[in-house]
Amino acid sequence: MNIDTEQYQVKQEPFYQPQGNEIALYEAAYQRRLPVMVKGPTGCGKSRFIEYMAWRLGKPLITVACNEDMTASDLVGRYLLDATGTRWLDGPLTVAARIGAICYLDEVVEARQDTTVVIHPLTDHRRSLPLDKKGEVVTAHPDFQLVISYNPGYQSLMKDLKQSTKQRFSALVFDYPPADLETRIVATETGIDPELAAALVKIAAAARNLKGHGLDEGISTRLLVYAANLMDEGIAPREASRMALVDPITDDEDIRSTLHHAIDAVFPSH
């Protein structure tokens, strides 16, 4: 089967600032084709890191945004009916296994547990993917690697990975960057003044302290970039911060008021 791998290449270097030795650790895991789980809160840079590593390694990347309606067929493939009869269409996991891509299952915990079971044969010595409906077993290309992301802080008894799945992966643990690094990321990503970026990071720190005390999740680095982009478009810092940092994460009036006070303290004359 001829598949154009060029469409899956990351052609431009994504901006990524290392927090530690995660690049070396990932490269070592890739050399042995170990499955990798990246763990951390929403918007802390997990997906950007995988995109960067695919670029750095020169490997195609196929990303799947997992959701609760995703079936095993959505991952591995299905028969389709067309004018000439039926034809088989590979799913993204199967395509990745065939061409030797990095397959990234983003927020895999959102998928149904009976769906995630299909990845198990690709994560051990078999490195194979049974296509039961087609009567075929796909042997993974030597370059294939499976990567999943997982947010341990956003789970319930109904939405968690089984131990039988977790223990098939090596893991990299991510968190929000230290303040100075996060400031540099926001300023570099958006072009705003570093002092304004530092002010946004202070607001994020205040919100993250409320996690578990009224907030399910703190303000992510991604949301800081959104606020900075609004400010770069001429929106006043207070308005940009409320639109990007407060309104998306909570409807609780007390929490909103607390965060509005934090914004006013950081931007007293804006």
Residues 68 and 47 in one domain: yes
Q: Which two tokens stand for residue 93?
A: 């996991």
The Cα 201–Cα 175 span in angstroms is: 14
Distance of CA 88 to the CA centre of its chain: 29
Residues 75 and 185 in one domain: no
Residues 120 and 198 in one domain: no
Residues 165 and 89 in one domain: yes
The Cα 246–Cα 100 span in angstroms is: 42
Q: How many domains does the chain have?
A: 2
Residues 208 and 145 in one domain: no
Residues 153 and 114 in one domain: yes
The Cα 8–Cα 133 span in angstroms is: 26
Nearest to 163 by CA among 116, 216, 111, 129: 116
Residues 68 and 148 in one domain: yes
User: In order along the chain (270 residues), what is the average pLDDT of each group of 10 residues?
Assistant: 86 96 98 97 95 98 94 94 89 97 94 87 96 95 96 65 91 96 96 97 94 85 97 96 96 94 89
**What residues contact residue 211 under an 8 Å CB cut-off, 6+ apart?**
153, 217, 218
Question: What range defines the domain where residue 253 resides?
Answer: 179-266
The pLDDT value recorded for residue 225 is 97
**CATH number of the structural domain spanning residue 21:** 3.40.50.300
Last residue of a domain, one of 130, 153, 173: 173
The pLDDT value recorded for residue 269 is 74
Global pTM? Answer: 0.92
Last residue of a domain, one of 146, 173, 200: 173
The Cα 89–Cα 77 span in angstroms is: 5
Residues 194 and 85 in one domain: no
Last residue of a domain, one of 118, 150, 173: 173
Residues 139 and 215 in one domain: no
The pLDDT value recorded for residue 116 is 87
